């Protein structure tokens, strides 16, 4: 057994740890929440914390605004998650009767979508655990560390700081590793700090099969998803070489034609960054007619979160952000071109 705790840099403040310790000791009902369109980190960090709190002998539920992609359904207790979109009554009841809401992987209450009003009305204390920059001021305890590779990394630090490495069960370890892996493109970016690899070493010690987790997440594609990605690359990729940028658009009709399921377009926005000199990539997905979901990715110091906030009603990390538009695809593309013009200097320098 590796004694990791003494080797890791202590980033969560003692005051925050003490506050969470007290809340966990005094409360009985806990809800773990994560952001809309939950990704591997949102689901991984939520289920890791769920298992930890459950193992403390407390009542705990994970509430997500809407469904997660099928490639996360193997995560332990994924089947116990409540989805606000499908079961708003039960989800609202859980939020209203909670003593504490753990808010994971988002920095503003609005990111939980339609569940936001229940969160605002609930008397529960709110604990933020997140790695997005610029967190809102609406949390009683704020564990906000943009330097962390993922919220899952922060949950690992939180759990081990509170209860030692014994609290990281095999289930907790699987969930943590999944979140860290998905938010770093399998440790390809946002993953240069050595602590990440110390944590991975300790998760391996818990018996996780990292290669199997990789295959569960990345190698369980349907045939139609592969064809959709091929189609998007061949037919729908537009390179704006004067701006070192690329755009992929998929209309609602195109998504229907390829039977696109939740998560089938995940990762698509990263692909154009493989092209030499491309520094900024945008993917516009017409979720339903008139509603465009925006995904942005960048390399180095190009701030796609600023572009997301200024042009796409969104935000996120410097190199991975998103937003949404209520307009036609043509109008969304026009908005993207406007953003390119505005940020031209930063893109070409």
130 touches Mn ion (CB under 5 A): no
C-alpha distances in angstroms, 119 versus 33, 51, 84, 101, 208? Answer: 10, 22, 12, 8, 34
The partner in contact with residue 225, picked from ligand 5GP, Mn ion, none with C-beta cut-offs of 5 to 8 angstroms by kind, is: none
Q: Which of 113, 154, 112, 165 is nearest to 130 (CA)?
A: 154
Residue 298's φ and ψ, nearest 5 degrees, are -145, 170
Asked whether 323 and 312 are in contact (CB, 8 A), the reply is yes
| Span of 80-88, 175-183, 240-248, 254-262 interacting with Mn ion by CB under 5 A | 175-183
Measured between its terminal Cα atoms, the distance across the chain in Å is 48
Give the H or E element holding residue 21.
Answer: helix 14-26
Return the structure tokens found at 253.
């009709």
Least Å distance, CB 36 to ligand 5GP, is 8
Determine the Cα–Cα distance for residues 273 and 230; give it in Å rounded to an integer.
Answer: 16
Among 35, 51, 125, 225, binds ligand 5GP (CB under 6 A): 35
Whichever of 13 and 313 has its CB closer to ligand 5GP, that residue is 313
The partner in contact with residue 195, picked from ligand 5GP, Mn ion, none with C-beta cut-offs of 5 to 8 angstroms by kind, is: none
153 touches Mn ion (CB under 5 A): no
Neighbouring residues of 324: CB distance < 8 A, sequence distance ≥ 6: 291, 292, 293, 294, 312, 313, 314
| Cα dihedral across residues 207, 213, 216, 217: positive or negative | positive
- Kindly write out the interface string for residues 5-44 of this chain, putting x where it contacts Mn ion by CB under 5 A and - elsewhere: ------------------------------------x---
Return the structure tokens found at 248.
């992929």
Among 99, 153, 171, 183, binds Mn ion (CB under 5 A): 183
Number of residues that bind ligand 5GP (CB under 6 A): 14
- Kindly write out the interface string for residues 286-315 of this chain, putting x where it contacts ligand 5GP by CB under 6 A and - elsewhere: ---------x------------------xx
| Span of 3-11, 178-186, 264-272, 327-335 interacting with Mn ion by CB under 5 A | 178-186
Least Å distance, CB 266 to Mn ion, is 13
Chain residues that interact with ligand 5GP, rule: CB under 6 A: 35, 37, 39, 111, 295, 314-317, 320-324
Chain residues that interact with Mn ion, rule: CB under 5 A: 41, 105, 150-151, 183
């Amino acid at each position: 057994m590796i004694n990791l705790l003494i080797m890791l840099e202590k980033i969560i403040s003692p005051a925050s740890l003490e506050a969470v310790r007290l809340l966990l000791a005094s409360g009985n009902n806990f809800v773990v929440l994560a952001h809309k369109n939950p990704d591997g980190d949102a689901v991984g960090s939520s289920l890791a914390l769920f298992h930890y709190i459950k193992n403390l002998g407390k009542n705990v539920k994970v509430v997500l605004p809407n469904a997660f992609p099928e490639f996360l359904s193997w995560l332990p207790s994924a089947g116990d998650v409540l989805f606000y979109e499908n079961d708003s009554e039960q989800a609202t009841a859980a939020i209203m009767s909670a003593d504490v809401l753990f808010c994971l992987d988002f920095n503003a209450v609005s990111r939980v979508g339609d569940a936001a009003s229940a969160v605002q009305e609930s008397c529960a204390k709110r604990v933020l655990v997140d790695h997005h920059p610029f967190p809102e001021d609406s949390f009683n305890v704020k564990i906000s560390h943009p330097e962390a590779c993922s919220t899952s990394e922060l949950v690992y630090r939180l759990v081990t700081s509170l209860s030692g490495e014994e609290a990281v069960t095999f289930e907790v370890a699987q969930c943590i590793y999944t979140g860290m892996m998905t938010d770093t493109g399998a440790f390809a970016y946002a993953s240069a700090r050595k602590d990440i690899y110390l944590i991975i070493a300790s998760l391996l010690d818990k018996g996780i099969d990292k290669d199997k987790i990789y295959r569960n997440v990345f190698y369980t594609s349907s045939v139609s998803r592969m064809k959709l990605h091929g189609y998007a690359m061949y037919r729908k990729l537009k390179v704006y070489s004067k701006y070192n940028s690329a755009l992929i658009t998929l209309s609602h009709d195109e998504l229907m034609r390829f039977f696109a399921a939740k998560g089938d377009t995940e990762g698509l926005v990263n692909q154009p960054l493989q092209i030499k000199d491309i520094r900024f990539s945008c993917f516009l997905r017409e979720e339903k007619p008139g509603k465009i979901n925006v995904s942005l990715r960048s390399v180095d110091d190009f701030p796609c979160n600023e572009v997301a906030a200024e042009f796409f009603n969104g935000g996120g990390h410097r190199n991975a952000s998103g937003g949404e538009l209520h307009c036609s695809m043509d109008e969304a593309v026009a908005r993207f071109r406007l953003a390119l013009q505005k940020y031209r200097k930063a893109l070409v320098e």
